[in-house]
Amino acid sequence: MIGGHDGFIEYRTHFRWAVLLVLLAFSVLALRLFQVQIIDGKKYETLAMVSHVVRNRIQPARGSILDREGNVLATDVEVADLALVPHYVRDPATEIARLKDLGVFTADEAAKVTDMVTQSKTDKKKRFHRLTAKRNLVGSRCPDDLTVMNFDASTGRLVCPKCGGTQMDQRAVIQAHLHELPGFSLQSRMVRWYPARGLTSHAVGFVNEVSAAEVERSEGRLRPGDVVGRSGIERALDDTLRGAPGEDVFVRSAGGRRVEPRDLPEPFRDLTSTPPVAGKDVTLTIDMNLQQAAATALARYRSGAVVALDVDTGEVLAMVSQPTFEAGRRIVPGAGTPAKPPASVRAESSVDSKAYAPMMNKAVEAYPPGSTFKIVTTIAALVEGMAAEDLEMTCPGFYLFRGHKFRCFKRYGHGKIALVDAISKSCDTYFYILGEQLGIDTLAHWARDVFGLGESTGIEISERVGLVPTERWYMRHRHQYQPGFALNTAVGQGDVRVTPLAMARAYAAVVNGGRLMRPHLVRSIHDAVSGSVTSVAPEVQRLIDVPDDFLDLAMRGMYGAVNTEDGTASSAALPELPFAGKTGTAQARERRPGVGADMAAWLQQDHAWFVGYGPAKRPRVAVAAFVEHGGFGGAEAAPVARKVFEAYYAAHADEFADLWQGFEEDFLEVVR
């Protein structure tokens, strides 16, 4: 009995402890619930809305590219895309149909977006991804050429003042109806705009998006969607122009709404966005008046190039390659009613065929220079003692060398001829003889080591270096050398290859006192963040140690080529303010499989060259004009150069006031 009583007492004791423990547990839970619901209720109510933290990379504005007068050649403009997050699109069919009714989607576009949303909603990974429903919405700019459009109140549409096309403002329409479109949003981004269209495409270049392989190789520096320069200055100064990306950080609520970190409790308040740093602006040396003049003069030819250099600074005043391409052009099919393209656009595309290499910058591509190389041969022969002003030779129309006839372009020859006339009349026989006496290695030395032909010019953009062969080169690449190769080299034929840019640089050195300048396209770089401007100073790459008398002889020959009746470029002369130079007609017959008869005939013609300087007295600008398979240099390339000189003279007329009366008829009296 007593034992039973003791057991009862023990039971009651255990029960009391159990009750106390239960009461304690419920008290702790009650206190915790009180803290969560009453004390911290606001905090957890806010956190309950949080779906996830969003980190969007912000692309920086790419720096602008300007011409020497400050006119924009390339810049970033804002465009909008229609984006969506599939998870937050409540009723895909209804919302997409609404966008179709608003004129944003065509029937095909609506069907594709519907399929995209439906498939993504069932994918756990993709349903929260931001997808692009439509790129390049029509906004304030023309979708064809990005010109700012005007609003026509009578029609409620936008009108492009340049092409005349009419468009609906898709961005404004979507903005006004976003409240009806859960899950959809407008996303801004920057696209590259080239106001000059194809006029400066080869010098300025273009950009496009990086590939997956490039992203992988960049080790985090590049992301999908980034753009990089692909050619021209856009590529050469890509790091300078690109800037540094920023990051937009925010919290997305469970309902898909954006919640700023400052409206949330810890730890979300520590989330901060980083603004992007815009790229630096680059001002080029390009003179758009000369650029336009060169492009217009070259437009009637299938293929060619023009380069104009300031002889004292090496600044590239014009760089044109024909045919050109239109960088940055974007077209939104079905966006509106486009007008007929202007004549300038049609002209650009008239020869825009792969056969004529529109993407190739022929100003920095290497070709046989023909007789324009004779200036190098002349100076080499004078310095080496192989020629003199009064040295006469007889040209019967050919030069017989070891049983082989090397023919002069003038079939019946020039008869007895001296050095200056040999230059102005381009007597091949005279220079064959000089080539034989000099030898190929001496010619190569003067061309490459003195005048910089066959080596990099140092310009910022990619270029071909060309070739001036030596005896060693022939032994290595052809396994034989023939003395006759030197004769071909002396007249710019055989395996000699130079670029129009390199020839303009070499001629500039002849007329500027013997300074071989580095050609450059960049004039200055402006950092908008710091306000600093870094100017590019002229750079002398080497000094040419040639007596002035010898340079004068070469210049007298070039003056005669343009300004005497029997000079090879006499048809292009400007009597009121003469220029001077040398023509070239380079044999360059080609055969390409599968081309039509018209192109096959074109490929059989010679290359036409003219390289010169102006004014003939007090030279300021050097011009190289090249017409691929154009025919005779004096008839085709020299008139192209003349147009450039005319444009330069017109813009600098006051600087030549004392020269406009013309020069003495006797070109032998002309001095620098």
The DSSP code sequence of 238-292 is HHHHH-B-EEEEEEEETTS-EE-GGGS-TTGGG---B--BPPPEEEE---HHHHH
All structural domains of the chain with their residue ranges: 2-39, 50-75+196-279, 86-182, 362-664
Of 468 and 120, more confident: 468
DSSP 3-state of 572: helix
Cβ count within 10 A of residue 419: 24
Q: Could you give the C-alpha distances from 374 to 363, 383, 538, 626, in angstroms and in order?
A: 20, 14, 28, 16
Contact 289, 651 (CB under 8 A): yes
Of 58-67, 268-277, 411-420, 661-670, highest mean pLDDT:
411-420
User: Quick check: helix, strand or coil at residue 87?
Assistant: helix
Res. 507 pLDDT band, cuts 50 70 90: very high
Predicted confidence (pLDDT) at residue 44 exceeds the cutoff of 60:
no
Place of tokens 């030596």: 470
pLDDT digits (tens, 9 = 90+) for 225-280: 888 999 999 999 999 999 888 887 777 666 566 666 666 666 666 677 788 889 99
- The token duo for 549 is 């008398």
What b/e string do you get for 246-261 counting C-beta neighbours within 10 Å, with b at 16 or more? beebbbbbeebeebeb
Q: Residue 203: its pLDDT value, please?
A: 97
User: Does 444 score more than 70 pLDDT?
Assistant: yes
β-pair type (65-66, 281-284): parallel
pLDDT at 346: 35
Report helix angle 500-511 to 374-383, nearest 10: 40
Query: What residue has token string 């340049």?
Result: 162
pLDDT of residue 467: 97
Residue 28 has φ and ψ, to the nearest 5°, of -60, -45
3-state SS of 2-50 is: HHHHHHHHHHHHHHHHHHHHHHHHHHHHHHHHHHHHHHCHHHHHHHCCE
Q: What distance in Å separates the CA atoms of residue 238 and residue 208, rounded to the nearest whole number?
A: 12
Listed as own residue / partner, the contacts of 221-224 with beta carbons closer than 8 Å and 24 or more positions apart are: 223/57
Which tokens belong to 251?
């919290």
* Cis amide leading into 86 (omega within 30): no
Mean of pLDDT values over 76-82: 87
Q: What is the pLDDT of residue 40?
A: 56
Contact between 109 and 192 under an 8 Å Cβ cutoff? The reply is no
Question: Does 336 have pLDDT greater than 50?
Answer: no
Q: Evaluate if residue 555 carries a pLDDT over 80.
A: yes
* Burial degree of 342 (CB within 10 A; 0-12, 13-18, 19+): middle
Q: Which amino acid is at 16?
A: R
Query: Do 610 and 372 contact (CB within 8 A), yes or no?
Result: yes
Residue spans of beta strands (DSSP E) within 471-559: 515-517, 522-526, 533-535, 540-543
Helix then strand count (H, E) for the chain reads: 21, 27
* CATH class assigned to 362-664: alpha beta
What is the number of alpha carbons within 13 Å of residue 666 lying toward its C-beta?
Answer: 2
Cα gap 91→424, rounded to integer Å? 81
Kind and range of the H or E run holding 503: helix 500-511
Query: In this model, does residue 323 exceed pLDDT 70?
Result: yes
Other CB atoms within 10 A of residue 140 CB? 19
Determine the residue type at 255: G
CATH superfamily, region 50-75+196-279: Penicillin-binding protein 2a (Domain 2) (3.90.1310.10)
Cα distances (Å, whole numbers) of residue 639 to 491, 573, 576, 627: 22, 9, 16, 11
Mean of pLDDT over the chain: 87
The predicted-structure confidence for 109-144, as pLDDT tens digits, reads as follows 999 999 988 888 887 777 878 888 888 888 888 777
Query: Can you tell me the distance from the alpha carbon of 239 to that of 499, in angstroms, rounded to the nearest whole number?
Result: 27
Task: Compute CA 367 distance to the chain's CA centroid, rounded to the nearest angstrom.
Answer: 22
Residue 562, amino acid: V
Which letter does DSSP use for residue 606 in this model?
Answer: P
Which pLDDT score, from 0 to 100, does residue 266 have? 65
In the numeric block, which tokens belong to residue 47?
A: 């956190």
Q: What is the dihedral of CA 173, 178, 183, 185, to 10 degrees?
A: 60
Could you give the CA distance from residue 207 to residue 291 in angstroms, rounded to a whole number? 21
Q: Is the pLDDT of residue 341 over 60?
A: no
**365-380: burial string, b at 16+ Cβ within 10 Å, e else:** bbbbbbbbbbbbbbbb
Q: Within 10 Å of residue 416's Cβ, how many Cβ atoms?
A: 10
pLDDT tier at 337, thresholds 50, 70, 90: very low
Kindly tell me if the per-residue pLDDT of 401 is higher than 60.
Answer: yes
Q: What is the 3-state secondary structure (H, E, C) of 326-391?
A: CCCCCCCCCCEECCCCCHHHHHHHCCCCHHHCCCCCHHHCCECCHHHHHHHHHHHHHHCCCCCCCC
Under 8 Å between Cβ of 572 and 642: yes
Mean pLDDT over 578-607 rounds to 93
pTM of the model: 0.84
Q: How far is CA 186 from the centre of its chain?
A: 30
The DSSP output letter for 190 is E
Of 623, 590, 627, 589, the C-alpha closest to 608 is 627
Q: How many CA atoms, within 13 angstroms, populate the side-chain half-sphere of residue 380?
A: 27
Cβ–Cβ < 8 Å for 85, 256: yes
CB 167 within 8 A of CB 335: yes
Burial string for 540-556 (b: 16+ CB within 10 Å, else e) reads: ebeebebeeebbbbbbb
